[in-house]
Amino acid sequence: MKTGSMRPLQQQGTALLSAKRARRRMRREVSAPAVSDRSQGTWLKLAAAALVTLGGLLLHFLGDVSHRVYLQTLRLDAGLFPQTVDALVINGYFTLMGRFSVGLDSLKTNLWFIVPAIVALWLYAFLVRELVEYLDRSLSKKEWRPLGNAALRRLVQAGMIILAVSAAIPLFLYAALALLKPPAALGITAGRDAALRDTAMFLGGCKQPSIAAGCVELRKGEECLARGFVVSSTTSHIAIFDVRQQRAVAFERAGTTLHGDARSDLPESPDARSEADARSTVCAGRGT
C-alpha cells in the first residue's frame, strides 16, 4: 500500500520538474536571440569605430607624407612649415582622391591589356582545377599510398610543419610590407607629382591668365623680397615661388607684408593703371 501510494507523488514530482525544465528552456530560447542581436550590434559598432580610426590615421599619414615630399621637391625645409592635424587630414583626403583618379585613368588607358589578362587568368584557373580533379581520380583508382610506414609518415608531417613555420616568417614580413608600403608610396608620388606640376605652372610667370590672380608680392617696408606664388605658410615662415629667381624661397614673416600683384588684375582707369604699375615696379624683373 505504501509503495502504491508513493507512485502518484513521484509522478507528480517528475511532471513538475519536467515543466520547470521546459519553462527554463523556453526562456533561454527566447532570450538567446536578443543576446545574439546585442552582441552582433556591439561587434558592428566596434568594427565601424576601428575603420573610422584607421581611415583617419591613413588620411593623416598621406597628408603628412605628401606635404613633406612636396616641399622637399621644391628644395624647401619641411620642418619650417608644420601643418595642423585638420590641414593634414584634408590634404590626405585630396591626395587619396587624386590617386584614385590617376588609377581610374590608368585602367581606362590599359583596358586593352587588362581584359585579355583577366580572360587568361580565368582559363588558367579552369585548367588547373581540371588537372587537379583528373589526378585525384587517377590516384584514387590506383590506391596510391607512397607513405605506408607510420614512422615515415610522422617524419614527413614534422618536416612539413617545420617548413610551414619557417615559411610563415618571411611571408608575414612580405605581407606587412605589402600593407605598409602602398600608403607611403601614394603620399610620396602625390607630393612629387604636385610639386613638379606646380613648378611647371609657376615657371610661366604671373602673366598667365589661369594663375595670374594667385600672384603676390612679399615686401618688407619698401623692399620687394619676392614676387610669385605662395607655396606654403605658417605663423612664422612663408614660402614663395619667386618668378624672378625661378625657384621657391622661404622667408621669416616678421616685419613682412603680403600684397596681391597689382598687375595681375589691372583696373580700367588709365590713371589707376599707371599708379599700379608704379607700385609694382619695385618687384619687376626677369620672369614676370
Q: Where are the alpha helices (DSSP H) in 74-149?
A: 85-109, 111-142
pTM (2 d.p.): 0.59
**What is the distance in angstroms between the CA of the first residue and the CA of the last residue of the chain?**
124
Nearest C-alpha neighbor of 250 from the set 226, 223, 273, 216:
226
User: What digits encode the pLDDT tens for the residues 53-83?
Assistant: 888 888 888 889 999 999 999 999 888 898 8
- CA-CA-CA-CA torsion sign (193, 198, 201, 203): negative
User: What digits encode the pLDDT tens for the residues 116-149?
Assistant: 888 888 888 788 777 777 766 665 665 545 545 5
Exposed, middle or buried, 77 (CB in 10 Å: 0-12/13-18/19+)?
exposed
88 contacts 64 by C-beta, under 8 angstroms:
yes
C-alpha span between 261 and 264 (Å, rounded): 5
User: What digits encode the pLDDT tens for the residues 233-273?
Assistant: 888 899 999 988 889 999 998 888 888 765 544 444 444 44
Cell of 222: 619698401
Does pLDDT of 100 surpass 50? Answer: yes
